[in-house]
């Protein structure tokens, strides 16, 4: 199955509906479950969030399938351990290639009994309960966790910490990546009554239980990035309004505002969201994606299409996402005349030679962000996206929204 996209050559205009943030949604679902209640409004309709809801609704199950959802796998590992659950936690073949040893080691240190069903350090996991190690009543357990691995491990540990008798102190070692996602986790925890403190390299959670609370999920800044790309690549005069985004957001991908200012898109905060308009792009750009790795694919494609040399760092985590996103980007960008060159020492450069969109077919590698990062190229010419259904993971209405905006979607 594939989807062919064409654009009418008119300027883009109007309002596009975004999904709710699945990062906020999945954290809020775990915390609400630990808190024992609360009303969550505007939950994401993404497959990852619907999956999380289904699995949390059946805590007595003997097998939990996280499919291809990273947050579901990591957050449920900690949640099921902390709630003394017994059962198997598994996922897709790709999920079984994504490491989880750092999180499992930390949970074992806290008292969880977890074993690997297949390969050491990777799902599936067998969870067999929790027994608190013997400590004095005053002693707060302390974990040393590498900061340069997935922040989802750190968030998973933080979210269960208020349920531990002495709380938890997490000491981050080395470079810390995706720090905004950790801050989002802490902010949601505090909203539900937790006492958590960010002391830089030390994260402290006191043994103060959650309480039920209501919360409304913000729209998704990651999803907004694709509309930024369309405005950047659209005919002169293109603009779009995106409701539900906040100027003071907990989402790290709000960084798209500053990044796309370099690539020709201005952001104006309006009553209920943002309005995007075209401006002149920079002649060259640079960005560290350590705190916003999910934006990298979109930005790389736009920079190549605009022929703006763009130096990118902080891409380490892209190797262990739904696919090896660096390799996938290199392969697919080359079809159009774009390149993502490894300069060594963690630096990559986007460049282009005679970049053209002329009916190419883009492979998506079971990765929703590959489909949506390349789709905006249809503003420049006809384009086919393979396996378009992958967008259900985070933005199920993506193709419908493109059609409403004026794209021909076949």
Over residues 338-382, the pLDDT tens digits come to: 999 999 998 999 999 999 999 999 999 999 999 999 999 999 999
Lowest mean pLDDT among 40-49, 131-140, 282-291, 320-329: 131-140
Instruction: Count Cβ atoms below 10 Å from residue 208 Cβ, excluding itself.
Output: 13
| pLDDT at residue 134, as a whole number | 57
Quick one: which of 320, 361, 315 has its CA closest to 341? 315
Is residue 78 within 8 A of residue 160, CB to CB? The reply is yes
Is the pLDDT at 135 greater than 70? The verdict is no
Categorize the per-residue pLDDT at 139 as very low, low, confident or very high, splitting at 50, 70 and 90: confident
Main-chain dihedrals φ then ψ at residue 201, nearest 5 degrees: -85, -5
DSSP assignment, residue 37?
A: -
C-alpha dist (Å) from residue 382 to 9, 40, 228, 377 = 11, 40, 19, 8
Contact 213, 198 (CB under 8 A): no
Alpha helices in 36-128 (DSSP H): 47-56, 70-82, 101-110
| DSSP bridge partners of 204 | 169, 197
What is the mean pLDDT of the segment spanning 313-327? 85
Find, among 112, 205, 110, the residue nearest to 167 by Cα.
205
In this model, does residue 153 exceed pLDDT 70?
yes
Which residues face 3 on adjacent strands?
385
Q: How many angstroms separate the CA atoms of 390 and 335, rounded?
A: 21
Would you mind telling me the total number of residues written for the chain in this entry? 410
Beta bridge partners of 340: 350
- Return the SS3 of 199: coil
Q: What is the pLDDT of residues 190-222, one digit of tens each?
A: 999 999 999 989 999 999 999 999 999 999 999
Residues marked as binding? 22-23, 27, 70, 98, 150-152, 178, 294, 321, 325, 369, 393
**Percent of the chain at pLDDT exceeding 90:** 87
Question: Strand 273-278 to strand 361-362: parallel, antiparallel, or no bridges (unpaired)?
Answer: unpaired
Average confidence (pLDDT) over 245-262 = 96
By C-alpha distance, which of 373, 313, 298 is closest to 348? 313
Q: Has residue 17 got a pLDDT over 60?
A: yes
353 SS3 class: coil
Question: Residue 1 CB: number of other CB atoms within 10 A?
Answer: 7
* Cα–Cα dist 144/389, whole Å: 40
Q: How far is CA 121 from CA 117, 125, 155, 232, 320, in A?
A: 10, 9, 19, 42, 14
At 133 the pLDDT is: 62
User: Where in the chain are the domains?
Assistant: 2-19+219-409, 22-216
pLDDT tens digits, one per residue of 37-60: 999 999 999 899 999 999 999 988
CA–CA distances in Å: residue 59 to residues 41, 86, 87, 264: 22, 10, 10, 48
pLDDT at 177 over 90: no
Q: Quick check: 324 pLDDT over 80?
A: yes
Peptide bond into 159 cis (omega under 30): no
d(CA 376, CA 261): 17
In CATH terms, are 2-19+219-409 and 22-216 the same topology?
A: yes
Residue 204's alpha-carbon distances to 149, 161, 262, 372, in angstroms, are: 19, 9, 37, 37
Looking at CATH, the fold of the domain delimited by 2-19+219-409 is given as UDP-n-acetylglucosamine1-carboxyvinyl-transferase; Chain (3.65.10)
**Does 105 participate in catalysis according to the annotation?**
no
User: Residues 202, 317: contact at Cβ < 8 Å?
Assistant: no
Catalytic hit among 291, 294, 324, 367? 294
How far is residue 353's CA from residue 351's CA, in Å, rounded to a whole number? Answer: 7
First to last CA, the chain: 11
Q: Does domain 22-216 have CATH number 3.65.10.10?
A: yes
Average pLDDT for the chain:
95
Q: In angstroms, what CA-CA distances link 348 with 94, 294, 355?
A: 25, 16, 18
Residues belonging to the binding site for 3-phosphoshikimate are 22-23, 27, 150-152, 178, 294, 321
Torsion of CA 322, 323, 324, 327, to 10 degrees: -140
Task: List, for residues 64-103, the tens digit of each pLDDT value.
Answer: 999 999 999 999 999 999 999 999 999 999 899 999 999 9
């Amino acid at each position: 199955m594939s989807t062919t996209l064409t654009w009418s050559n008119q300027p883009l205009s109007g309002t596009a509906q975004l999904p709710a943030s699945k990062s906020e949604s999945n954290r809020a679902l775990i915390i609400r479950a630990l808190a024992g209640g609360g009303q969550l409004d505007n939950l994401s309709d993404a497959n990852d969030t619907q999956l999380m809801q289904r699995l949390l609704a059946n805590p007595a199950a003997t097998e939990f399938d996280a499919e291809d959802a990273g947050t579901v796998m990591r957050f449920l590992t900690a949640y099921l351990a902390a709630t003394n659950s017994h059962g198997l936690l598994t996922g897709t073949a790709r999920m079984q290639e994504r490491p989880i040893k750092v999180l499992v080691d930390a949970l074992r240190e806290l008292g969880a009994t977890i074993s690997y069903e297949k390969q050491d350090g990777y799902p599936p996991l067998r969870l067999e309960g929790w027994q608190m190690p013997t400590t004095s009543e005053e002693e707060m357990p302390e974990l040393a966790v590498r900061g340069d691995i997935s922040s989802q491990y750190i968030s998973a540990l933080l979210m269960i910490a208020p349920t531990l008798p002495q709380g938890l102190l997490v000491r981050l070692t080395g470079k810390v990546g995706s720090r905004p996602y950790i801050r989002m986790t802490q902010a949601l925890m505090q909203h539900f009554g937790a006492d958590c403190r960010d002391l830089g390299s030390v994260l402290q959670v006191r043994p103060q239980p959650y309480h039920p609370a209501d919360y409304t999920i913000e729209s998704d800044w990651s999803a907004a990035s694709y509309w930024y790309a369309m405005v950047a690549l659209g005919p002169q005069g293109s603009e779009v309004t995106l409701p539900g985004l906040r100027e003071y957001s907990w989402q790290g991908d709000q960084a798209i505002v500053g990044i796309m200012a370099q690539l020709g898109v201005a952001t104006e905060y309006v009553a209920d969201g943002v309005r995007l308009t075209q401006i002149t792009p920079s002649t060259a750009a640079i960005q560290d994606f350590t705190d916003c790795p999910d934006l990298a694919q979109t930005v790389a494609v736009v920079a190549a299409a605009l022929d703006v040399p763009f130096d990118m760092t902080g891409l380490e985590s892209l190797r262990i996402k739904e696919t090896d996103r660096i390799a996938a980007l290199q392969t697919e960008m080359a079809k159009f005349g774009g390149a993502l060159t490894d300069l060594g020492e963690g630096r990559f450069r986007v460049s282009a030679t005679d970049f053209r969109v002329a009916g190419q077919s883009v492979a998506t590698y079971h990765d929703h962000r590959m489909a949506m990062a390349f789709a905006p190229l249809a503003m420049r010419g006809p384009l086919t996206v393979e396996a378009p259904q992958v967008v259900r993971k985070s933005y199920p209405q993506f193709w419908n929204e493109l059609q409403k905006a004026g794209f021909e979607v076949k």
